Every structure is written in structure tokens, then in C-alpha cells.
Structure 1
Amino acid sequence: MNIKKIIPILDWLPNYNRSLFKGDLVAGLTVGIILIPQGIAYALIAGLPPIYGLYCALVPQVMYAIFGSSRQVAIGPVAMDSLIVATGVSTLALAGSESYISIAILLALMVGAIQFLLGVFSLGFIVNFLSKPVITGFTSAVALIIGFNQFRNLLGADFIQSDQIQYILEDVWLKIATFNKHTTIIGIISVAIILIFRKINKKLPNALIVVVLGIIIMKYFGKSFNDVSIVKDIPSGLPGFGIPEFDLDQIKELLPIAFTLVMVGYLETISIGKSLEAKQDEYRIRANQELIALGLSNMVGSFFKAYPVASSFSRSAINQESGAKTGMAALISVIMVVITLLFLTPLFYHLPKTVLAAIIIVAVFGLINFKEAAFLWRANNLDFWLMLSTFLATLLLGIEYGIMVGVGLSLIVLIYRTSRPYVTELGKVPGSNFYRNKNRFEEVIIDDDILIFRFDAQIFYANSNYFRDNLDKMAAKKGKALKLIVIDAESINRVDSTGVEMLKERIKFYQKKGIMFYFAGVKGPVRDDLFRSGVLQIIGINHFFMRANEAVKFYKTGDRQHQEKYAKYIHQAYK
């Protein structure tokens, strides 16, 4: 057992040096500066007191630095997961209450336990049923939902909070006249400042800049803005250890939202990790290890009052751009948060909530992926409609149902594509031994008495009828002239019992009509399945060929010496 694979920090820590520390220090300080106001803001999205956003930036980061396979991914509170927490927990308790807080912490333990078990049993592939178009649609919709939910803080109006966009828009329309003038001015100016600084240089701590400006304005000019809502008291001190309270009824009610957080959190982390991995050659992301690391981050974090965490798109990118090379950058960010919790929380007393709303809105609206939507429209219409369906389902039905629709549609598309793969007839390229798709190469030669049939997928219960119907249709077009069918099996990588029985039945059917049945390019494992299933009792071993042109040559010229040599080779390989 390789201990470095189980605990990846042992891979880089023993060789750590001063040159690595320089980049990690700058990155850790930069991410820490951004993380503190973001943590406070995301806790408000989750319906929790601001300090819980900072708690999420402590133990979970340490656990990921030890067990995560990526050295640059930044773990902590994120907008999407925070909104999902608010959506699930708000149905069970009043936002901000002690009961609400304890349920959110219990949810972190549940999410962590599920992620950890998925990783230990190497079940990370389950999440792959969410295709990229589904992720794009889901992420874009959630970004819109999060952004519109923050309009209540940005404009200082009492709009409802919901994960269904139509209810938010209806309430905004009815109550827009009640907006607070001073709150709106500060919020819009904050948005403008963030956007300007992002254009100048993405590495600038724009979130910290607007936070400092907001605090200064409210502290020294607060009498002129006494109607602007501020954060007020944030308790000082580090979180104490405590085991989340267990309630079986609550656990049952939280399971759907927990599985949603498991999938979303893992997808966020693995997608960010893969994009960062491509920019270096020092390490490789391991999907199941990421699940284990996320699981431990959430589980152990829940013992120190953290609600569910995942990786942050923005902070991870800034971490990498700022020069982070190892998990030491995350540990430096933790130190900054510890210092803040111990000594600096009083400084955030005068922080306007509208500034936090501005930070969140700019961050999440950047997740709306117009480029991917345009690309899918050009490249693959089915994927575009899959993305759009997930997007609309998430917007209109809510986050939980949106991800269920996305998974369901992904499975339907997968079944559709595997049950109706591409099929075609091949023809001979003039002056060569190659056979190509007649629909793409107009010059190929098609023999009236020969059908070379290519099927571009495995043959199994879901598509065996489709195989048979298309074979019969092409054979019928040849009419009575047809004397030979050659199955080009180079693209067939598996055949199940249903597929084998269908092939045996078709071979017998065409034999009765005096039509020979050959196979070309059959892969070894597929050939083994055919032989074990009794195909050789219907046709001889000399009906199997290396390539389609050899099958046609044998049929036309009777090149028995070559075929007997290949048949002997197949027989030895099968034995």
C-alpha cells in the first residue's frame, strides 16, 4: 500500500523548500484576503450567522491540504452550496435559529460521510452521469438564482428568498418601489468598483477593497446612512469541538439535499481540479481521492461548526494565478482566518450587507456560461437542448429538482445514443484494399451481391433490435442479388447474451435464403463471447476475417490458403 496515495501531503511536504514557500505565501495571503469577506457573505446566503462562513474556512481547508490530490484547489464556503443549504434547511427550521444552525452542521456531517464512502469504495464514476451540458445548465441557473436572491440585500428591499426564479421575479416586480435609496447606491457603486478592478487586474483583492470602503463609509458617515443594514456583531474566537446532534427523522428529510450537495460539491471540485491540473505537470487529480478529501473536510469540519463546503471556482483560480504550488497556501489562508477570528472580527461591525451582496452577485454571475451554450448550439443540438432543459428545470422547479431532471435527462440521452448508434454500408475505395462509409465517400464501389454492414457500438439488449432492423433494411435494398453479408465489427467492443442470440437468429435466417454471413475485424473478447455462445455451431471458424477486404477477396477468389492460415491463428488464440 502506497501511503502517499492515501495521504498526498506526504508526497510534497518532505521535499518542501524556500522557493515553493514564496509562491505559496503570496497565494495564501491573497486567497485569505478574498476568503474572509466571501465567507461572511456566503454564510448569509446559507441563512447562517456570518461567523459560520469563517468556520468553514478553518478545519475543512486543513483536511483538504492533507488528503486532497490537488495542490491548488481552494476549499471552503461557496455560493452554490450555500444556497442549496438554505433551500434544504429552511423547510425544517427558521433561518439563523439554533435549530437551523444545528441542522446545517448535521448536513455537513451527512454530506461528508456519503462523499467519504463513495471515495473509499471507488464509486466516483456515479457522478459522471451528469454530463458537461447538464453541469453548464445547472451551474448557470444556480448562479442566476443566487444573484437574484441577493437583490434583497443589494437594494435593501424585503424580497422573498426562493430557489424558484419565477417567485423571486414576481416579488421583485411587486416590491421594487420599496427599495432603499442609500442601500441601492452603495450596492451599485460596490458592483461598479469590483468590475473596474477586475478589468484592471484580476489579482487585485477587489472584494477586500469594497469591504474596506463600505466599513469606512458606515463608520464615519453612518448618520447619513442610518437606514443601511450592516453586519453588526460577529463573535470572536475559534469554534469549539462538538459532535452534531443526531435525529433520524431529520436525517431522512435531509437525504435528498445531502445527495444534491454531494454531487454538486464533487463536480465543482473535480472540474476545477482538472482545469488546474492541465496547467502543470507536477501532480495528477485522482477522482476517488478527491471524494475522500472532500468527505473528510466536511465530516471533520462539522465537528468544528462548519456547514457543507466545496471548492471555489474564483479562489482556486486566484490561488493558481498567484503562484500556489502546494497545499501550504491553504494552510497560510487558514492562519489568516484564525487571526481574523481571534482579533479582527470587531472591524466588520459596520460592514454593509449590500456590499456583501455586490461581492456575491459579481462572483456568481460570472458562472453563467454563454460561450458554452453558443458552442453547443453550433456543435451538438441534442447537448444544447439537454443543457437548456436542465437550466430551465433548475430555474423554475428549484435546485433539488433541477439536478434530478439533469441526471434523468443525461440517462435518457445515454440510453438513446447507445440504443440507436450510427450504422452504415461500406464500399471499396478504388485502387485500394480499404472499405469506407458510402455516405461520406461517394466514389466507393458498392457490389450488388455484397453487403458490408458497420455498427458503431456494442451490441446489447437495448440496441439489438435496432441492429437487426437496419441490417434487414439494407439487405432488402440489395434484393435477390445479395449473396454475402459481412459484419464489419471493428467498432463493436462488447456483445451481451441478447445480442448474441439476435446474431445467431439472423445468421440462420440468411442461411435459409442462401446468403453467406461473414465477420471481419472482430475484437478478441467479442470473438470469445460469440464462440462460447455457440456461433461456431452455425458458421465455421473460416467465416471470420481480419479485415473486410479479406472477407470479400475470399468470397470472390476463394483465397483459401490465406483464410486457413488466419482461421488457424484464431483457433489457437481462442484455445
Structure 2
Amino acid sequence: MLSWLKQYHRDLLAGDVTAGIIVVLMMVPQGMAYALVAGLPPVAGLYASLLPACAYALFGSSMVQSVGPMAITSLMTASSLAGLAPAGSELYSAMAAQMTLIAGVVLFLCGLLRLGFLAQFLSRPVLSGFTSGAALVIAASQFSTLLGGSLKQINLPGAAIGLSSLLLLWLARQYLMRLLKSLGLAGKVADILAKMAPVFVLALAILCVLLLNLEQAGVQVVGKVPSGLPALGLPLAFGQMRELLMPSLLIGFMIFLSSQSAAVSLAQKRGERINGNHELLGLGAANLASAVSGGFPVTGSISRSAVNYTAGANTPLASVITTVLMAVLLSVPTGWMSPLPLSALAATIMIAVLGMLDFETPREAWRYDRGDALAWGVTLAGVLLLGVEEGVIVGLLLSLGTLIARASRPHIAVIGRIPGTEHYRNVSRYAVETRPELLLLRVDAAIFFGNAERISDSVLEQLQDSQRDVVLVLSAVNQIDTTGLYTLVELNRALNARGIRLNLAEVKGPVMDRLQRSDLLLSQLSGKVFLSTAAAFSALTEPDNPAATVPANPI
């Protein structure tokens, strides 16, 4: 935290200033648009783009992460508060801030408790299915606004602006960067200008409303945006705590997951490492700052962070500059925002969420692991059919269920010696030597309460009458828990009753340390512990071979 400030030098300033200016231009329309998705007044999006960026800069670990409103968390806010208060009301805004406060406190505490590893418990296919489903829900929610009113009562001028904006934004997304490069602009400049297309389209929409006096024709606009900085205060609404607690926890989890993936993606480009615990602290501080300044849940955005990085950001000072510029914009008269048509904002939202649709991950998963492809489809269906919060829960349960199922079915291979070598491989994959009196089994997972019984059963199922020794090769076993230990003791007794000895080979040092501390298994082991599989093979099939005398030291 703040280590970047100690190493800061003037050469970095130009890039940070440029990035700060460009990102604030992007955050103004984006913040207002996502506030509408959340069911809040547009100015709430500007408030949520103010202090959080600076708070993250103080605690976060990413040098170029841009924190602010995001589509998914905005949708989850609206979904959580639906039915609790009328959208846009003071109570609704207070409850949104209360949820942000809870999420911020939980994230900050998780950072202090060093729980950054939690980001690993949602698989990529499940996350992809959730974001794709959320994108479709967001796009569908904006369709009526895009048409200037509702499907039953379309406002033609409003619909014309919305559909024209949608077309222009789509064309810009597809062709603008190539066009700018063909005109001789550098790739970096062309990329920034292409990503700034929503700013230009919204400016054009404002001009159309003003020049054609479209407000008189019934075109819905943003309306009055309060100028001035937000009043600071704690949003305490204890009466709604029970209803808001679970949604806040789910939103907090999604905040961390979304931001972590964005931060890691950019850190890889810069050759940096992201500290998950510092990310939790930074995101917690950002959401606390948003809560006390009238905002709503914020997180790191991959698209906005990519613009920040491409524009030349070198350090979190770019985010501090963004905060300062946003404060300046809020301090001056904000009348220029009033004629912004809502249908044009809806178009920017719909185009933005198109980038969240991901069909490549399920396509690749179908080829690689159809279980993951099924998880993608179930999560997508959960979001579309059950709701956003329920979709998150479905995704979490699927990820944890998949993890448990895979851990409970470890890969266990019968192995033999490749002729003329000391290499041992799966008998189903290689032409290997085996001996009728010896069974070599390689366990390719930790032995714990979830799979210990299955491993024991697998050993017993492989036994043949001619065998006198079983060797468990534990080269891939990083841990044996207490249940696993007792299961191995019982396996040793079962084998001993049949006149078969249980031997261990290639036991890792940390595992051997624990086995020696307990001595429960080693004191009863009917066989021996061997340093290598080759030593076990030689000792048990060629007792006169010198290799049989190799000591059984832990690896």
C-alpha cells in the first residue's frame, strides 16, 4: 500500500495525467448510465465515481485498476432492492448506500483476515455463464428506455435517437479503430479514441435534443443534475439490515471477483503481481467511500481499466487525478448534462454489456470438459430464470460442487516399469513390465476425508490372488488428513489379513513429517517406506539387487 508513492518520479506524471483526463471523460456517461441500471438518479453514478477511485489508490495493489460503477454490480443492486422501495426514491438511495457500506466493511475485514484466496472458488465457466446471463438481463431491461418509453407507447424521436446511437456505437465498436489506423493514427491513440466513442455519441445526442427542441416532443432526458460535491454521512438503516445482509454479501463477492480478474489481466501485461488481500482492502475502502458519499457498489472494470492502462497510466496517481477532475466537474454548473436523452444512455449500456457476452468459453469447455460447459449453461439459465442473486448462488454451489466431486474421485493409476529404464507409467497407456506378486498404485491427489474411502476401495478392487505386496506411490500426494491416516491404517490391516504387505514410496517430506509425528501408520505398517518406486520394485521383486538397500528418507 502506497509503496508506489515512495518510488514515484516526474517521468511518470505525464502518463498519469493523460490517463486521469481520459478516464474521467469516460466515467461521466458510464457512471450515469450504470446509476440508471441500479435504479438510482444519474448523479449517484457521478458520486460513485468520485471518492472510490482515490480510496482504492490508497489501499489496492493494482497500479492501473480503475474503480467505479459497473454493469453487474449495478444490476445486482437493482435486483436486491426491487420491491423494498420505489426506484429512485430517497429510501431506495439510502438502502443502496447501506448495501454498499455492508459490502465495504465485509471486503475490508476479509482483507485484514487475508482471505484473498476466496476468488479461486468460482470457476471460469461459471463466472462466464453468470456475466453472460447478467448481460442479457441488463440489455433486456434497457430495451424500453431505448425506444423512448415503453413497447406499448414508443416515443418516435426518442426511439430514433436511441436506435441511431446504438447503430453508431456498434459501427464504432466494429470499424472505428481500423479506420483511425488507416488514417495514420498510432495504434495506442486509435485504441483510446475508439473506446471514447460513447462520449462522442452522447455529445451528439445532446446536440440533437437542443437543436431540434426534442424535449417538447416528449423525449425523456436526464433532467436536472445537482451541482456540488456530495454530502458525506453514514447511511444507517438498521430496520432493513436483515433484508440487505445477504444481497450485500453476494455483491461483495462479485465486486472482488470482477475486480480481481481485471487486475490480474492487466498485471500480466505489466509484469506485476496482484496481492488478493490488498485488493480486498482497496475494494473495501472504495465501497466505504462510495457509501458515505451517496454512491452505490463499485468495483474494478476491465474495460475502464484497459482504457486507463492504454492511455498511459503508470501508477494509482491516475485515479487520484480522476477523482480531482470529477470533483471539479461536480463543482461547476452541471446544466450541460440535463438534455442528455435517456435512450442514448440506454444504447451505451446495451453496447457496453455486449462485451460481457462470452460464447468462446463454453465452446472451448464443450471440447475440453463437458461438465464445465454444463455448469456454464446451468448458471446462465439460473440468472435468466431465477434472478441475478439466485444466479450467483447457483454459480457458487456449482463451483463448490464441482470441486468436491472432482476431489472425491481422485485419479489412481496401476503403474509398471518401462523396460530398460527406471521410469514407471500407467499400464493403460504404456507397454510396461509388471510382476504378478506386486501391485504398484500411484495416487494422484491429496488423501482426505472426501476421497480416502474411495482410494481404499480402489486398492482392494485391484488385488489379485498372486500378489504379496502393494506399493502406494505418493509422489502426487501433498497432504494426508486424519481421516486419510485412519483409512490407510484400516487398509493396512485389511491387506495384512490377506497376507499382503502395504508399502509406501516417494512420500513427500511434509507428509512424512506428519506421519512420523503420529507414528500411528508407520508403527503398524506391514511393509516398508521406499525412497523411490524403482527402489520398491527392486526390493520387492529382486531382493538381491543393491537398489533394495536404498534408505527410505522422505523426499
Q: What's the TM-score, normalizing by structure 1?
A: 0.90
Instruction: Give the gaps of 5 or more residues in structure 1.
Output: 1-7, 159-175
1:197 has 2:172 as partner: yes
Using the alignment, how far apart are the partners of 1:25 and 1:419 within structure 2? 53
The aligned residue for residue 430 of structure 1 is 419
The aligned residue for residue 262 of structure 1 is 252
The aligned residue for residue 419 of structure 1 is 408
Superposition map of 1:351-390 within 5 A? 351-390=340-379
Write out per-residue CA displacement over residues 548-571 of structure 1, whole angstroms, 9 at most, x where no aligned residue.
Answer: 12111111222486555504x56x
The aligned residue for residue 461 of structure 2 is 473
Q: Kindly state the Cα deviation for residue 284 of structure 1 after the two structures are TM-superposed.
A: 2.5
Superposition map of 1:382-531 within 5 A? 382-441=371-430, 443-475=431-463, 479-531=464-516
- SS of 1:487's equivalent in the other structure is strand
- SS of 1:452's equivalent in the other structure is strand
The aligned residue for residue 522 of structure 2 is 536
Q: Is the 8 A contact 1:90 1:100 kept in 2?
A: no
1:100 has 2:100 as partner: no
- SS of 2:472's equivalent in the other structure is strand
Q: Is the 8 A contact 2:407 2:445 kept in 1?
A: yes
1:252 has 2:228 as partner: no
Q: Kindly state the Cα deviation for residue 452 of structure 1 after the two structures are TM-superposed.
A: 0.5
Q: Kindly state the Cα deviation for residue 102 of structure 1 after the two structures are TM-superposed.
A: 1.2
Q: Is the 8 A contact 1:67 1:292 kept in 2?
A: yes
Q: Kindly state the Cα deviation for residue 432 of structure 1 after the two structures are TM-superposed.
A: 0.6
The aligned residue for residue 167 of structure 1 is none
Using the alignment, how far apart are the partners of 2:362 and 2:147 within structure 1? 30
Q: Is the 8 A contact 1:89 1:104 kept in 2?
A: yes
Superposition map of 1:65-464 within 5 A? 65-158=57-150, 176=151, 178-198=153-173, 199-201=175-177, 202-204=191-193, 205-223=196-214, 226-247=217-238, 249-281=239-271, 283-441=272-430, 443-464=431-452
- SS of 1:537's equivalent in the other structure is coil
Using the alignment, how far apart are the partners of 1:310 and 1:140 within structure 2? 18
1:551 has 2:536 as partner: yes
Q: Kindly state the Cα deviation for residue 509 of structure 1 after the two structures are TM-superposed.
A: 2.1
The number of residue pairs the alignment matches comes to 538
Using the alignment, how far apart are the partners of 2:76 and 2:520 within structure 1? 54
Q: Is the 8 A contact 2:531 2:550 kept in 1?
A: no
Q: Is the 8 A contact 1:150 1:357 kept in 2?
A: yes
- SS of 2:365's equivalent in the other structure is helix
Using the alignment, how far apart are the partners of 2:394 and 2:380 within structure 1? 10
Instruction: Give the gaps of 5 or more residues in structure 2.
Output: 178-190
Using the alignment, how far apart are the partners of 1:14 and 1:424 within structure 2? 54
Q: Kindly state the Cα deviation for residue 223 of structure 1 after the two structures are TM-superposed.
A: 4.6
Write out per-residue CA displacement over residues 58-95 of structure 1, whole angstroms, 9 at most, x where no aligned residue.
Answer: 11111111111111111111111111111112321111
Q: Is the 8 A contact 1:243 1:302 kept in 2?
A: yes
Q: Kindly state the Cα deviation for residue 243 of structure 1 after the two structures are TM-superposed.
A: 2.0
Using the alignment, how far apart are the partners of 1:244 and 1:258 within structure 2? 14
Which stretch shows the higher mean deviation, 354-363 or 494-503?
Answer: 494-503
Q: Kindly state the Cα deviation for residue 533 of structure 1 after the two structures are TM-superposed.
A: 4.1
Using the alignment, how far apart are the partners of 2:292 and 2:318 within structure 1? 23
Alignment CA distance shift 1:117-1:561 (3 Å): same
Alignment CA distance shift 1:509-1:340 (3 Å): same
Q: Kindly state the Cα deviation for residue 463 of structure 1 after the two structures are TM-superposed.
A: 1.0
- SS of 1:426's equivalent in the other structure is strand
Write out per-residue CA displacement over residues 509-543 of structure 1, whole angstroms, 9 at most, x where no aligned residue.
Answer: 22232222221111123223334242233236x71
* Aligned residue type for 1:129: F
Compute the RMSD of aligned alpha carbons: 1.8
Using the alignment, how far apart are the partners of 1:350 and 1:242 within structure 2? 30
Write out per-residue CA displacement over residues 108-131 of structure 1, whole angstroms, 9 at most, x where no aligned residue.
Answer: 111111111110111222342212
Using the alignment, how far apart are the partners of 2:326 and 2:249 within structure 1? 29
